[in-house]
Each structure stands twice: as structure tokens, then as C-alpha cells.
A and B are shown apart, each in its own frame.
Chain A
Amino acid sequence: MKSLTLELNDVKISHHVEPRETLADFLRERCRLTATHLGCEHGACGSCTVVVDGKAARSCLRLAIMCGESKVQTLEGMEDDTVMGLLRQHFHHGHALQCGFCTSGMLLMARDILLRISEPDAETVRQQLSGHICRCTGYANIVSAIVAAGKEMADAKT
């Protein structure tokens, strides 16, 4: 076991971890933060997406031990985030989820997209979201919700 200190959802925490533990397992099993879902565990499905040092990351493809001194944010830490608030609202209104398994990853990637690209159109969102799998195939509503949130963000700025 090795000691690990990181900032998780704005709180500095320390834990002992096994080197082989992924960030996803660390979050779910040690920190009991289960909004981060594990699907494929090899980077193909996107459901384990979190934010590491401000960038969307696959938490199944980061060793927890590599995140020492990093800032990690999960969906649980996004309660007061303005962009996430907007996305939550549009996902709700636009019925952008069915079973919900992929939703936390979709939301965090959607936030990453909206922070990088102003007012993305549906094609851009589809391209940017292509690393995320929804097996209910609710893509149409997910894409529209993100496009709508992006529009509202742009309108709010003007």
C-alpha cells in the first residue's frame, strides 16, 4: 500500500491505496463516490469519466496513485457548478437519459465540450461525444440537450 494525497471535490484527502487501483476503483470503493460508473474498464465506453486537473479523464485509465497532488472532480462535486446546473436542467427537460448508467459520464463530457467549444452544433456534439456509449441508444435526446445547454450558455453571455 502507498499513501496518496489529492484534492477530491475541493477537499484535501489522504488514503492508502494499492498501486494497481484505478482512480475509478479508488473513488467507488474507498471514497464511496458511486456516481462514477464502471462499464468497460478499458477506455471504450466513457461511463467512468471524471475531471482531473480541469480536464475530462477516463478514471478507469488513471492509476489512483498517479493522481497525487491532482485535483479530481466527480459528478458529486458538481452541485454548484453553473455549466453542470444548466446541463442537468436540459437533460431533465429533454429526457436525455433512460436507464441512467452512462449519464454521469455523458454529463461530465458534455461539460468539457461546452467549456471548450462555444455553442456547438449537433454534429460537433456527436463527434465530441463519440467516445461515450449509451446502450439504451438515447443519443438523439442527449445530443439535443447538450446543444440546447450550449445555446443557453451563449445567450446568457450576450
Chain B
Amino acid sequence: MKASSFDYVAPKTVADASTSLATANATTAAIAGGQSLLPMLNLRVAQPDIVVDLGGLEELKEMSVASDTVRIGALTTHASIEDGLFADVFGGFIQKVASKISYRAIRHFGTIGGSVALADPAADWPGCLMALGAIVRVSGQNGVRSEPIRDFVQGQYQTSLKPDEIIVGFDIPRPAASLNWGVHKVVRKSGAFANSIAFAVSQGRGGPASVVLAAAASRPYVLLKVIEQIATGQISDGALRAAIAEDVAPLVPKGDDYLMRLHTSTVLRAVREMQSK
């Protein structure tokens, strides 16, 4: 199908973009790489009055590595992360995650900010950034605010973004020790959204761990019981499986043994991969 008619603006400043997005009596949509919005426009699932192109906003391309924080601009494409951007800082973790998103032609244009702003429950970045404890930097008519991604992503396609707000980028705490990580994703076919995806990271071998499961519920969840279990050092398969079951059971429909086994297996594999490094 073809998209319905809309107006298009390409602001040069974040302030102008904010103003356009907050246009009164109009539905507006922000576009970055467009790799999720275009299908929705073409299928007329989305029928905005105005599409606001964020591609020209230099602030959203800002990138830096400081001693304690890595800053990634919202317009950073999956492909540039796949090709090694900040790969050394995160021990190849975000590079691996990026390389498994959709297809290369999509990764050339799809952005990390767009992925988080859409907040698809099965998307790769929200869960990955949660595992890394990322802070989302948001700009709007009331200035700039920062919010942990754990709070920013609220549910299926739901974030705390107000209509006038734009994700500027992400601040990720720089790992103090080398990052040990594991990620396991189950998809029906390569490039599809995940049926289950788990992320596990720890700062150095045996350091404090963070484990996140996505595609299981309306948003990614930090698996607190699993993290506690890892911290005790009792990490037999049985002990981990019991902890995973406690965390995952509330997220899946009661009695769905397949989903329990699926998510248990992705989490377990991610944790084992992390521990093997």
C-alpha cells in the first residue's frame, strides 16, 4: 500500500523540531532512519498529519567516550555500531547486538534512538541498554532531561516521551573492568523480531551482573532473582533455572510451557556465555 498524505518538515535545530512535533490539532510523527515508521506509513497503520525529519539535527549525532560515561547519539545507525563503533569499550557486546538486528540494508539507516523511541517489546536496543544501565537524554520545550531507560520504557510502544520531546542520545556508564557479556536471541527467521532475547553482562569475571529479558512481555524486564542468584555464587543449572522461573513466570501466560522453556533457555544461555568469558 501507499502512505496517506502528510506534510513534511526537516528542522535544523532541536528546538524547531520540538515545536513542529507539538503542533496543535495535528498528529505528528518523528522520523530518523524511518525503518519502522515507513512500513507503518505504507500500511497506513500510522497516518500522521506532519512527519518531522530528525536527520538534520547535529545534537543527535554527538558521540564521546569519557572516563566514566560513553555517549551515543540517537541518530547512530545499527550498521555503524556493527562496524565497530565503541566495540572496544563494551568488549564487542553492542557490536554483536547490532549485527543481529534485522538486515544490513535496514541497519544502514535504522537508528538506536528510533528503536528505543518506538519501544517494540521485542526490539534489541531497549533490553541491551537496560542491561548496561543506560540513561536516556531527552530534549523538549522545557529543556533537557535524563531518565534511566528502565523507567523511560513503560510498555508496548510506550515511553515517557511527551509529544514535543525527542531522544537526543544515551549515556552509558563505562564499564570499570572489562565487560563480560552474553546475548541469546531466538527468531523464527534471521532478521525477524525476537521471540525471546536475553542479555547478561558483568563487570569483569564474577563482578556484579545485570540480566535482562525482552520479547517476553510488554517491555524488557531486569531479572532480579537471577541477578541475586548469580551474586550468591550458587550457579548450578538447577539453581539458575529456579531463579529464572521465579522471574519469568509472572511475564508469560499461565501454563504456557513452551514460552517458559523458550525464555528459560535464552536467559540460561546468555548467562552461561557471560560466565564463559
Taking Cβ atoms with an 8 Å cutoff, the residues of A that contact B are 2, 18-20, 22, 25, 41-43, 46, 49, 52, 55-58, 60-63, 65-66, 109, 112-113, 116, 127-128, 130-131
Contacts and interface: CB of A to CB of B under 8 A. Distances in A.
B137 to A, nearest CB: 24
B35 interface: yes
A65 B39 CA distance: 16
Contacts of A18: 5
Contacts of A127: 190
Interface string B87-128: 000000000000000111110110000000000000000000
Given A42-B39, A43-B35, A63-B34, A58 B6 contact: no
A46 B103 contact: yes
Nearest to B83: A116
A57 B1 contact: no
Nearest to A25: B2
Contact of A58 (B4, B43, B105): B105
B8 interface: yes
A62 B190 contact: no
B108 A57 contact: yes
B7 interface: yes
B34 to A, nearest CB: 6
Contacts of B34: 61-63, 66
B212 interface: no
Contacts of B10: 66
B51 interface: yes
Q: At the interface, is chain B mostly helix, strand, loop or mixed?
A: loop
A19 B39 CA distance: 15
Interface string B202-222: 000000000000000000000
A131 B55 contact: no
A107 B7 CA distance: 34
Contacts of A20: 2-6, 41
A131 B8 contact: no
A113 B103 CA distance: 12
Interface string B5-19: 111101000000000
B105 A49 contact: yes
A20 B109 CA distance: 18
24 contacts: A20-B4, A22-B2, A22-B42, A41-B42, A43-B35, A43-B38, A43-B106, A46-B103, A52-B108, A55-B108, A57-B105, A58-B106, A61-B109, A62-B34, A62-B109, A63-B31, A66-B31, A66-B53, A66-B55, A109-B105, A113-B104, A127-B190, A130-B190, A131-B102
